[in-house]
């Protein structure tokens, strides 16, 4: 889909880069010529992912970073500059989420998610953004949000609140930091199966039935493939998307569009549905 040197010489930091979608994006960026920094609280995961990238001929630096702590983010940026000389892009991918009835949610449970998603995104963005401004060469900020940033969602109130704040942050910085040639965008993924997220978000014992329910809500009729999201992220970090900023791109097979009043009818037998519609039409006057 892209030429192999699309991201050549770019230094891209990916928070939560050791596993899941973060790892998939980092691998793809490296394939396209970028030097990637994999940052996570769990250094072991980052080291494993970095080893895979380097064995495939790419350049990767694993770093321990707790995005909840600004000093940790600043140290991560310092190590990145020490190794690669600059920071060109940041992908805010680190996240936390779980299902809960809000009336049973503790203030600490709410704070835990907000600290990672909203505060953590701000910490990483501020540390990398200051470096980009000091370099004077511009840069890219990309946040992984969720399809419910505009609508909210039951049972994930902490995540919905935090992700909406992250999108507002990206759009605010797209304007404020444009003078520094820094772009800020977001991606809102639909269901992309990952081991970690699925364990927290699929109710126990509901695997098959939940999957059927979830796929029925997606017009495309399937889950997303990690490569599809990684390619979208690569495009948004590439020079060819230089006029795109302050945007949120949905990649969900059309799932977020299913709130329309009659969209659920797409799940009915279409031949029977057509007959039903025909029967509802008023009879023609003779």
- CB neighbour list of residue 42: distance below 8 Å, 6 or more residues apart: 18, 64
For the question of residue 148 being annotated catalytic, the response is: yes
Helix axes 226-237, 20-31, angle to 10 degrees: 60
Angle at 216 between CA 213 and CA 219, to 5 degrees: 150
Secondary structure percentages of the chain, helix, strand, coil, to 5: 50, 15, 35
- DSSP for 180-215, please give it: GTEEEEEEEE-----HHHHHHHS-TT-HHHHHHHHH
Residues in the chain: 286
Q: Are the C-beta atoms of 144 and 91 separated by less than 8 Å?
A: yes
Catalytic residue chosen out of the listed positions 70, 84, 148, 223 = 148
With CA atoms as reference, report the closest residue to 22 among 34, 7, 38, 6: 38
Question: Which are the catalytic amino acids?
Answer: 148
């Amino acid at each position: 889909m892209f030429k192999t040197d699309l991201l050549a010489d770019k230094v891209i930091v990916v928070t939560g880069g050791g596993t899941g979608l973060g790892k998939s994006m980092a691998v793809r960026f490296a394939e396209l010529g970028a030097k990637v920094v994999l940052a996570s609280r769990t250094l072991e995961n980052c080291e494993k992912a970095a080893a895979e990238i380097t064995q495939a001929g790419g350049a990767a630096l694993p770093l321990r970073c707790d995005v909840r702590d600004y000093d940790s983010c600043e140290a991560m940026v310092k190590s990145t500059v020490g190794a690669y000389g600059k920071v060109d892009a940041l992908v805010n991918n680190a996240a936390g989420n779980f299902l809960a009835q809000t009336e049973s949610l503790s203030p600490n449970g709410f704070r835990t998610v907000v600290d990672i998603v909203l505060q953590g995104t701000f910490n990483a963005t501020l540390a990398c953004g200051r470096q980009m401004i000091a370099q004077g060469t511009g840069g890219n900020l990309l946040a992984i949000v969720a399809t419910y940033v505009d609508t909210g969602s039951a049972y994930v109130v902490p995540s919905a609140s935090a992700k909406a704040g992250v999108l507002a942050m990206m759009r605010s910085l797209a304007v404020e930091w444009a003078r520094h040639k820094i772009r800020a965008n977001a991606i809102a993924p639909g269901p992309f199966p990952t081991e970690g997220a699925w364990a927290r978000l699929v109710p126990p014992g509901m695997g098959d039935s939940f999957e059927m329910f979830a796929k029925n809500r997606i017009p495309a009729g399937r889950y997303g493939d990690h490569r599809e999201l990684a390619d979208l992220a690569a495009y948004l970090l590439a020079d060819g998307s230089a006029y795109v900023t302050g945007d949120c791109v949905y990649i969900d097979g059309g799932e977020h569009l299913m709130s329309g009043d009659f969209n659920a009818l797409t799940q009915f037998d279409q031949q029977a549905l057509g007959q039903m519609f025909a029967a509802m039409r008023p009879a023609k006057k003779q």
